[in-house]
Amino acid sequence: MVNRIILYQLLCVAGLVLAWDLASNFLIDPDFLSPPLAALRQSVLLLGQAPIRAALLLLLGELALAFVISLVIGLALGLLLGLSRVSHQALMPVILLLYATPQIAILPVIILASGIGPASKIVFGVTHGVFPVIVTVAAATRNLKPILLVSARSMGAGRWMRFRHVILPHIVPGFFTGMRLAMTAVLLGVLLAELYASSNGIGHFIRQFTEGFKPAQLLGLIVLVAGIAIILNMLLRGVEHRVSRWRRLAP
């Protein structure tokens, strides 16, 4: 089953690369859309440049911090909304309203409050990543059957034991779904903030290559960022696979 999934993923990637190659050679002028091999070559060359490596390390640091903050806040608020009916009825509409608000509209406010340093990128990343965690954790918690908590309480389980052995295992799938969504959203938020307010980040180089009309370098940089996103997503899936092993062994 796993080998079949990997095969499907490789076929999808091959199809996308083939479509990219056909488009760059027959549909779009190569001066506007570089072929895949040219972009891959540029990504290797860019990785050899010290400013690009420093920008990638800065991106990873901002991404990691924003992601951790999003998980902590999202897990706490998600559990609150899922376990408390009053909190869910009072706060969930507000959460959904904020989630639906275009985050780019508040970027100038964040930059004015936090400056153009890493703080604004981290804050903007958190505003993107916290809501998927809140929504998925709250939904997973509310789907917990009350009879499970009643049974655990009747057998003498305290509040911490009920949380550790009943609630936490139940929300694991939803939590990891929120984590993967949050990872992508945080990366988007950090890149957008760097794109508008940065002089040494990946977003700055994306803007520089765009304004300098350098499609090969631009696509090479996008390949590097996409590679980071894929690796991080695979790491999260690996952690989920290990943490959720008991679910596959359960009858």
**Nearest-10 crossing angle of helices 107-114, 118-142:** 120
159 occurs within a structural domain: yes
Q: Residue 216 carries which side chain, given as an amino acid letter?
A: A
The alpha-helical segments, DSSP class H, found in 34-167 are 36-47, 50-83, 85-100, 107-114, 118-142, 146-154, 159-162
Burial 149-167 (b: 16+ CB within 10 A, else e): beebeeeebeeeebeeebb
Q: Which pLDDT tens digit goes with each residue over 190-233?
A: 998 888 877 778 888 888 888 888 888 888 888 888 888 888 88
146, 83 contact by CB (below 8 A)? no
pTM of the predicted protein model: 0.85
Does residue 36 form part of some domain? no
Please indicate, yes or no, if residue 23 is contained in any of the structural domains: no
Residue 1 confidence (pLDDT) above 60: no
What CATH number corresponds to the domain at position 58?
1.10.3720.10
33: DSSP letter = S
Number of independent structural domains in the chain: 1
pLDDT in tens, 102-151: 888 888 888 888 888 888 899 999 999 999 999 999 988 888 777 777 77
The verdict on residue 180 lying in a domain is yes
Residue 123 CA, chain-centre distance (Å), reads 14
Q: Look up residue 187 and give its two tokens.
A: 């990366």
Whole-number pLDDT of residue 28: 73
**3-state DSSP assignment of residue 80:** helix
Give the domain range for residue 118: 53-243
pLDDT of res. 182:
92
Residue 89 domain-assigned?
yes
Flag whether 153 is in a domain.
yes
- Flag whether 48 is in a domain: no
140, part of any domain: yes
